[in-house]
Amino acid sequence: MALERTFSIIKPDATRRNLTGKVNALLEAGGLRIVAQKRILLSRAQAETFYGVHKERPFFNDLVKFMTSGPIVAQVLEGENAVARNREIMGATNPANAAEGTIRKTFAESIEANSAHGSDSAENAAIEIAFFFSGLEIVG
């Protein structure tokens, strides 16, 4: 498979505990290259738009509150099969179900405060990358 890009977020629970470097080390050890990265504080409107697919879910308001509770690190990752590879490196949404050595098993505090986001398809990766980055900010 050709090189692919995916979108990633290091979530506020991880930035709060100063884990950006440790999360990045797992991404890089897993074969992904960080080709864009910035630390930002999401507004409520931005978080609602980003997680809009979940707006009918009971956890939506709490999720938006959590995602705006501190800085996030938004990233573009590049590598072979990057979308699926990043989901493997992150592990299951609920850290209790995540495999050993994954970001969520190693660092997540809860199903909500689960340290990382990764796009779930190439199509959503393109939408999410364009939401956070201009082409000039991505250097492969």
The residues that touch ligand ATP, with contacts defined as CB under 6 A, are: 54, 59, 63, 93, 111-112, 114, 117-118, 120
54 is catalytic: no
Catalytic residue among 19, 36, 117, 129: 117
Give the shortest CB-18-to-Mg ion separation in angstroms: 25
Is residue 34 within 8 Å of 77, Cβ to Cβ? yes
Q: Among Mg ion, ligand ATP, none, what binds residue 114 when CB lies within 5 to 8 Å by partner kind?
A: ligand ATP
Is residue 61 within 8 Å of 54, Cβ to Cβ? no
Comparison of 75 and 114: residue with beta carbon closer to ligand ATP: 114
How far is residue 109's CA from residue 140's CA, in Å, rounded to a whole number? 32
Comparison of 2 and 100: residue with beta carbon closer to ligand ATP: 100
Give the shortest CB-80-to-ligand ATP separation in angstroms: 20
What is the DSSP code string of 84-95? HHHHHHH--SSG
> What H or E segment, with its residue span, contains residue 8?
strand 3-10
Give the shortest CB-83-to-Mg ion separation in angstroms: 11
Three-class DSSP category at 105: helix
Query: Which positions are catalytic?
Result: 117
